[in-house]
Homo-oligomer: A and B are copies of this chain.
Amino acid sequence: MDVEIARSRLTSARVGYLATVTAVARAHVVPCCFALDGDTLYSAVDAKPKSTLDLRRVQNIRSNGAVSLLVDHYDDADWSQLWWVRVDGNGRTADNAVERARAIALQSTKYEQYRALPPPGPVLAVDIDRWRTWP
């Protein structure tokens, strides 16, 4: 897959699958909304109902920065149309106010839901160091 196609597919995907590793080296995966800014990906912890804003994904990244985020296309009727794009990188929380505001603005541009209700929780940032694509 051409790198520009990969970037376009990642940019426009509405949902990604964020994998992290717990402090005891177990796998964790959640769907998330996100926005891409160059080689940094942002995913704000939003107002969808959760038990706490201090989520497992945030705890995991504090103890192990390894993050992998996947987007894909599945078509049950035609497997020749399938593809996925995965980015691996280092996760952190965007605690700097300027970066946080920029990340939320990017996500609000992409998702109209965030315009009415900006995400109240931490913003995860992933500094991408590797792209993988299939096929």
Contact = CB atoms under 8 A, between A and B. Distances in A.
Interface of A: 14-15, 17-21, 25-31, 48-50, 64, 66-70, 72, 74, 76, 79, 82, 84, 86, 88, 113, 134-135
A61 to B, nearest CB: 10
Given A28-B68, A48-B82, 8 more contacts: A14-B76, A19-B27, A26-B88, A27-B28, A27-B68, A31-B70, A49-B135, A79-B113
Q: Enumerate the 10 nearest inter-chain pairs by beta-carbon distance, A residue then B residue, closest first.
A: A19-B29, A19-B27, A19-B19, A26-B66, A27-B68, A17-B17, A15-B74, A31-B72, A29-B70, A29-B68
B25 A21 contact: yes
A27 B66 contact: yes
Contacts of A21: 21, 25-27
Contact of A70 (B30, B67, B76): B30
Contacts of A18: 29
A113 to B, nearest CB: 6
A9 to B, nearest CB: 13
A76 B86 CA distance: 21
10 contacts: A15-B74, A17-B29, A17-B70, A21-B27, A25-B66, A30-B84, A31-B84, A48-B79, A48-B82, A48-B135
